[in-house]
A and B are shown apart, each in its own frame.
Chain A
Amino acid sequence: MKIRLENITKTFKTTTAVSNLSFTIEDGEMICLLGPSGCGKSTTLSMVAGLEQPTEGEIYFDDVPMSGVQAENRDIGMVFQNYALYPHMSVQDNILFPLKMHHVPKAQRRERLEKISNMLQIQELLHRKPGQLSGGQQQRVAIARALIKEPKILLLDEPFSNLDARLRIELRDDIRALQQKLKITTIFVTHDQEEAMSISDRILLMKNGVLQQYSTPQEMYRTPVNLFVASFLGNPPINKLPCTLRDGVITLPGINGWKPDALEPVFCGEVQEQAVLGVRPEDILVVTEGEHLTAQVAAIQTLGKEVYLRLHHGEHTLTACLSWDHDYSIGDTLKLKLRKCYLFPSEGGL
């Protein structure tokens, strides 16, 4: 099902949680609502679900306006952050609860239960209580409960935040596979950019209730529209250096031996004379000649296949992410080349 939000605004008493939000989700897409906490992503999800009514604007499902349609009639399955599994009911009763509410005939209930529990590999758990399950198992049961209604839309609210790192990766791959198999339109909310990048078709990044960028993960990473988007994505975060731009030439104050040769920055927004130069850690290369600048190694953090270097040049600090094919030591002076860089207007909130 296609979902379209038009000029949605939501205000609570004095605060505006979401302001003038418009976007479209195509049928079968998996969309991630991303942003720091309090950015309005959960409120947006609640409005799509019908648990909150927008103050202004309209939500359409396949071009049908949804205002006045109760949550239970929107044909939506939802998984909550704490799963909201009823502790007093067995797993089976939990999964069947939505069908019971919709008065689905018994025979059909059994059939669907079998199908869904096979799909999520939870057949063994059906007669247990939620309290006896591990976090990952609870997650699967919650998804089964959301999907048994065979909804047109699946909503996931921070679905992985209660799981440990390893399980998180395993489950998000499972969910992605399941979503692609069922071709169900899915929206999930997270504050974890890595999670968002790894499984969604498109990411919708919000800040203070305002949409920042809505694009594929690659596009968002490669061509961020502003400094906020650029800093929110990527780990370690993008390096930010104040600079000036005069006649197409970038100068970095306080950096000696700066050679902006052959540097072709990506312009993000209306860049004036005072600007911010953004460099992703992985775009800093160590070279023997043709460098843009030099810097000293101040700290080294090794992470298995790669190594993070904290580099100092005067008062500036840079983080570089390099493959671990060379042993670095503190105090080394390195010649650095910037493979790619971005230019942002300086009022971008440094």
Chain B
Amino acid sequence: MRTNRLTDSPPVRFALRYKAWLYLLPALLVITVFQIYPICKSFLMGFYTDFDYLKDEVYAWGFDNFRNLMRDADFALAIKNTMRLALVAAPLSIAVSLLFAVLLNSDIRCRKVFQSIYFLPFVTSMVAVSIVWAWMLNKDFGLVNAILKVFGVKKIAWLTDPNMTLPILVVLCIWKGLGYRVIIFLAGLQGIDPRYYQAARLDGARAMNRFFHITLPQLGPTVFFLSITTVIDVFKTFDEVYVMYAKEPGPLKSGLTIVYYIFDKFYHNWSFAAAAAASFVLFLIVLAITLLQFGVVRLVALYDERRTSR
């Protein structure tokens, strides 16, 4: 038996006392410098009207950036485009994924194979994906028009018709995230106690009724999770637009998203403060949407409670 002298020496005692902080140090350093500081900074930068970013000297402050942003038709367009995309793409891609998940959850052969295939786009570089889609959507030599021709559809100028931008981005959103959402839904579906279905069957509920009265309510939290993550993902749309439209925001700026706007201000115009202000607005919008969704869930829960307690 040894009495442990070491634990009594001052440096060791110090280390023991602050051991937890030593473990936290690397992560906290990165988080503070690259996550917490930038949040504050991007808020502050939004108010810089005259500054030198390399010297970190600010000569003038003001609301100009936000004022300009509000006046900028492009920013309004970016918000409109992104909102429209979110409103269409999120519900559609969630609905499609739910359909596939329910089908996969039935007594099916090769479930694993289908699941693996659906997940493929999720692990694939968005740049490569955008390039191959752009090639397939080529008006004269693209595969899509060639296939449509078989069905007697005339050539569609997918990439140059502004009306086609939204459908393309929606399809891409569905294509890219199908596997991810199917897996999340499957996890939710498998968490439903099969006895509910047996009980409902005995009560005479048909497949459709079982879906709407058991599956859907039980999947509530999953749908909620996916609606938040999908909307946030849509709000981050950038790679596919930038690559597919050859660094342009789509025909007639129909693919101008918020992140594209930020990137453009920052990378092409070097107006950091304007970009920071726009980022901050993006943050607020995402925050608002998340809170709104939480609020809706609370309201629904409250409504359910009232109804059942009656």
Interface residues of A (CB under 8 A from B): 61, 64, 68-70, 73-75, 152
Min CB distance B2 to A, Å, is: 5
Number of interface residues, chain B, beta carbon within 8 A: 6
Q: Enumerate chain A residues within 8 angstroms of B32, measured Cβ to Cβ.
A: none
Please give, as numbers and ranges, the residues of chain B lying within 8 Å of A70 by CB-CB distance: 4, 7
B1 touching A75, Cβ below 8 Å: yes
Please name all residues of chain A whose beta carbon is closer than 8 Å to the beta carbon of B2 when the two chains form the complex.
69, 73
Q: Are A68 and B1 in contact (CB under 8 A)?
A: no
Instruction: Say yes or no for B52: interface residue by CB 8 A criterion.
Output: no
Residue from the set B1, B3, B7 with the largest chain A CB neighbour count within 10 Å: B1
Cβ contact within 8 Å between B7 and A64: no
How far apart are the CA atoms of A220 and B1 in the complex, in Å? 34
Closest residue on chain B to residue A1 by CB atoms: B1
- CB proximity of B8 to chain A, nearest CB, Å: 7
Interface positions, chain B 1-44, Cβ under 8 Å from A, are 1-4, 7-8
Indicate if the CB atoms of B1 and A74 lie closer than 8 Å: yes
Q: Are B8 and A69 in contact (CB under 8 A)?
A: no
Q: How many A-B residue pairs have CB under 8 A?
A: 19
A-B residue pairs in contact (CB < 8 Å), sample of 19: A61-B1, A64-B1, A68-B3, A68-B4, A68-B7, A68-B8, A69-B1, A69-B2, A69-B3, A69-B4, A70-B4, A70-B7, A73-B1, A73-B2, A73-B3, A73-B4, A74-B1, A75-B1, A152-B1
Contact partners of A75 in chain B: CB under 8 A: 1
Interface of B is mostly: loop
Q: Other CB < 8 Å A-B pairs besides A74-B1, A75-B1, 4 of them?
A: A68-B3, A68-B4, A68-B7, A69-B1
Residue of A64, A73, A75 with most partner-chain B CB within 10 A: A73
How near does chain A come to B32, taking the closest CB pair, in angstroms?
Answer: 32
Q: B144 to chain A: closest CB distance in Å?
A: 50
Quote the shortest CB–CB distance from B109 to chain A (angstroms).
31
Nearest residue in A to B8 (C-beta to C-beta)? Answer: A68
* Minimum CB distance partner of A65 in chain B: B3
| Contact partners of B7 in chain A: CB under 8 A | 68, 70
Alpha-carbon gap, A295 to B97, bound state (A): 74
Taken residue by residue from 208 to 247, chain B's Cβ proximity to chain A (1 for < 8 Å, 0 otherwise) reads as 0000000000000000000000000000000000000000
- Min Cβ gap A285→B in Å is 54
Binary flags per residue of B100-125, CB closer than 8 Å to A gives 1, else 0: 00000000000000000000000000
Task: Say how far B7's CB is from chain A's closest CB, in angstroms.
Answer: 7
Q: Which residues of A contact B3 (CB under 8 A)?
A: 68-69, 73
Chain B residue nearest in CB terms to A68? B3
Docked complex Cα distance between A152 and B2 (Å): 13
When chains A and B are docked, how far (Å) is the Cα of A61 from the Cα of B2? 12
Distance in angstroms between the alpha carbons of A73 and B8 in the assembled complex: 14
Return A129 CB to nearest CB of chain B, in Å: 26
Tell me the smallest distance from the CB of A48 to a CB of chain B, in Å.
Answer: 14
Find the A residue at minimum CB distance from B6. Answer: A70
- The CA-CA distance from A74 to B8 in the complex, in Å, is 17
Nearest A residue to B2 via CB reads: A73
B89 CB → nearest A CB, Å:
43
Residues of B near A74 (CB, < 8 A) are 1
Q: Complex Cα distance A74/B2, Å?
A: 8
Chain A residue nearest in CB terms to B7: A70
**Distance, CA A68 to CA B3, complexed state (A):** 7
Q: Mark B153-184, 1 if CB is under 8 A from A, else 0.
A: 00000000000000000000000000000000
Chain A residue numbers with a CB within 8 Å of B1 are 61, 64, 69, 73-75, 152
Question: A152 vs B1: C-alpha distance in the bound complex, in angstroms?
Answer: 10
A75-B4 Cα distance, complex, nearest whole Å: 13
Q: Which residues of A contact B8 (CB under 8 A)?
A: 68
Per the bound structure, the CA–CA distance linking A68 and B1 in Å amounts to: 12
Distance A152 CA – B4 CA, assembled complex (angstroms): 18
Q: What are the residues of chain B within 8 A of A61 when measuring CB–CB?
A: 1
Q: How far is the CA of A68 from the CA of B4 in the complex (A)?
A: 7
* Closest beta carbon of chain A to B258's beta carbon, Å: 46
Nearest-Cβ distance from residue A324 to partner chain B, whole angstroms: 45
- Which A residue sits closest to B1, measured CB to CB? A75
User: In the bound complex, what is the Cα–Cα distance between A349 and B165 (angstroms)?
Assistant: 82
- CB nearest neighbor in B for A62: B1
The residue of chain B having its C-beta at the shortest distance from the C-beta of A76 within the complex is B1
Name the distance in Å between A89's Cβ and chain B's nearest Cβ: 24
Q: Top 7 A-B pairs ranked by shortest CB distance?
A: A70-B4, A73-B2, A75-B1, A73-B4, A69-B3, A69-B4, A73-B1
Chain B residues, Cβ within 8 Å of A73 = 1-4
Q: In the bound complex, what is the Cα–Cα distance between A70 and B7 (angstroms)?
A: 9
Which B-chain residue is minimally distant from A74 (CB atoms)? B1
Q: B residues within 8 A CB of A69? A: 1-4
Please report the C-alpha to C-alpha distance between residue A290 and residue B2 in the assembled complex, in whole angstroms: 66
CB distance from A102 to the nearest CB of B (A): 11
A315 to chain B minimum Cβ distance, whole angstroms, is 46
Distance in angstroms between the alpha carbons of A152 and B7 in the assembled complex: 23
Q: Which residue of B lies closest to A67 (CB)?
A: B3
Cα distance A26–B4 in the bound complex, in angstroms: 25
A68 to B8, CA, bound (A): 9
* Closest chain B residue to A61, Cβ basis: B1
Interface centre among A69, A75, A152 (most CB of B within 10 A): A69
Bound form: Cα–Cα A85–B44 in Å: 53
Cβ of B193 to closest chain A Cβ, rounded Å: 27
Q: Which of A61, A64, A68, A75 has the most CB of B within 10 A?
A: A68
CA distance A275 to B8 in the complex (A): 56
Nearest Cβ on chain B to A13's Cβ, whole angstroms:
19
Q: Which residues from chain B contact A64 at a C-beta distance below 8 Å? A: 1
